[in-house]
Amino acid sequence: MAVAGKSKKDVLLEFRTTEILDAARHVFAEKGFNDATIDQIAALAGVAKGTVYLYFESKRDLFLAALREGVLALHAEVAAQLLTAPTCEAKLRAFIAARFHYFSRNRDFFRIYYTEFSHLPTGAANARPEFKDLYEEQATLLETVLADGIQLGQLRPCSVARTARLIYDLIRSALAQHILTDDPESPDLPINSVFDFVWNGIGTK
């Protein structure tokens, strides 16, 4: 049948694509963008170098594809978790927890996400405007939660944009501590620490 015929080709294509993307994520995570080579990625994926270029335009394109795929999955998961949280406090906690859980399962991805994200604000020549949008999307999600909370009097008034960015980066920082120190510990402790820090600050009353 037509469907099966098409699907057969697609399955192979998707298999190769996944294979290469996984290899890319691993090598990029290990070496960083500049020190990773296409040869290493191809070898890990079990294909020849030329094959990589049948599936991706360039090294940068491959990197961005690996990043994009991960970011989209992350955002989908976070958004889904937010929907199930009733209160503003629960939403904030869900936002933190969802990110911790996702990245605990995708450590290689966290590495490239973390460093790439750090490059963004420098606005260097290697600026990736297409990713500004992906990140903005999440920041906006958090801003909405904050704005609602302030509206309902559950949060102290503050600059929503500024605060959202602070919380966002705070979570990244805590994630780095948790993920990058091959710490197999459950993520529940850091999740609670971060939430408590954000919600209550460090001062007494």
Residues that bind a copy of itself (CB under 8 A): 29-32, 34-35, 89, 111, 114-115, 118-119, 121-126, 146, 149, 153-156, 158-159, 162-163, 165-167, 169-170, 172-174, 176-177, 180-181, 190, 193-194, 196-205
* Crossing angle of the two packed helices 160-179 and 188-200, in degrees rounded to 10: 150
- Minimum distance between the CB of residue 11 and DNA, rounded to whole angstroms? 11
Binding partner of 51, given a copy of itself, DNA, none, CB within 5-8 angstroms per partner class: DNA
Q: Which of 16, 128 has the CB closer to a copy of itself?
A: 128
Site membership for DNA, residue 118 (CB under 7 A): no
Q: How far apart are CA 21 and CA 41, in angstroms?
A: 9
Half-sphere exposure at residue 157, Cβ-oriented, CA atoms within 13 angstroms: 1
Q: How far apart are CA 147 and CA 150, in angstroms?
A: 5
Contact criterion met (CB below 8 Å) for 66 and 112:
yes
- Contact residues for DNA (CB under 7 A)? 9, 12, 16, 35-39, 47-51, 53-54, 58-60
